[in-house]
Amino acid sequence: MGRALLIVDVQNDFTEGGALAVVGGDAVASAVSAFLSRRSEDYDVILASRDWHDADGDNGGHFHKEPDFIDSWPVHCVAGTDGAAYDPLLDTDAVTHHVHKGQGVPAYSMFEGRTESGETVGAILSEAGVAEVDVVGIATDHCVRASALDAIAHGVHVRILTDLIAGVAPDSSRAALAELAHAGAVLSDSRDA
């Protein structure tokens, strides 16, 4: 039975100084790198996702001049820009699969994305015989939540490493973690993983 690590959207636009900066984003990038330096051999596959939005158009209503910060957002993570790049504090050497999502459409879950060769996250996990995934990244209350819920729907055991995530807001992050726990995810500190 295989094991995977899902690293969700640790990108410049979601860390300090970015278009949609999340407080603690840089700390998550550093902490995930430290975790990988100690534990990357524990995983059969390590997938990292990035928002990779089209420069032209509104990406299916995802970009808006007057965003509601629920379904619409300011311009962020445009493909090929510095904002879409991984945070420089995230060491991606151990990543086995890089996933782009949100190309022309809204996408929160990494399961909605594809690798450059067209592979889906679900197919990668199935091919590797993955039965357990650990989820880390940004933002707890949006893309981490959506990715973890899709992993549960895919039929794998999900553990959220709560010291390796950061959310947009405390209340919505707590609600997301409660929802994930109710759906069957285990909430754990990476030191106990």
pLDDT confidence of residue 64:
87
- Classify 164 as helix, strand or coil: strand
Structure tokens at 88: 């420089």
Which CATH number belongs to the domain containing residue 176 in this structure? 3.40.50.850
Residue in this structure with the two tokens 């991606």, named with its chain if needed = 92
Q: Is residue 63 pLDDT above 90, yes or no?
A: no
In the chain, the percentage of residues whose pLDDT exceeds 90 is 84
Structural domain harbouring 93: 2-192
pLDDT at 92: 98
pLDDT at residue number 153: 98
Q: Does the structure show a pLDDT above 90 at 164?
A: yes
| Active-site amino acid positions | 9, 101, 143
DSSP class of 83: G
Average pLDDT, stretch 151-162? 98
Q: What was the pLDDT predicted at 21?
A: 93
- Tally of structural domains, the chain: 1
pLDDT for the residue numbered 99: 98
Instruction: Look at residue 73 and tell me whether its pLDDT is greater than 90.
Output: no
Give the pLDDT of residue 57: 83
> Above 80 in pLDDT, residue 193?
no
Contact between 83 and 38 (Cβ < 8 Å)? no
pLDDT band (50, 70, 90) for residue 9: very high
Residue 61 has pLDDT above 90, yes or no: no
pLDDT of the residue at 6? 98
d(CA 36, CA 191): 12
* Whether the predicted pLDDT of 80 surpasses 80: yes
Nearest alpha-carbon partner for 98 in 124, 80, 116, 77: 116
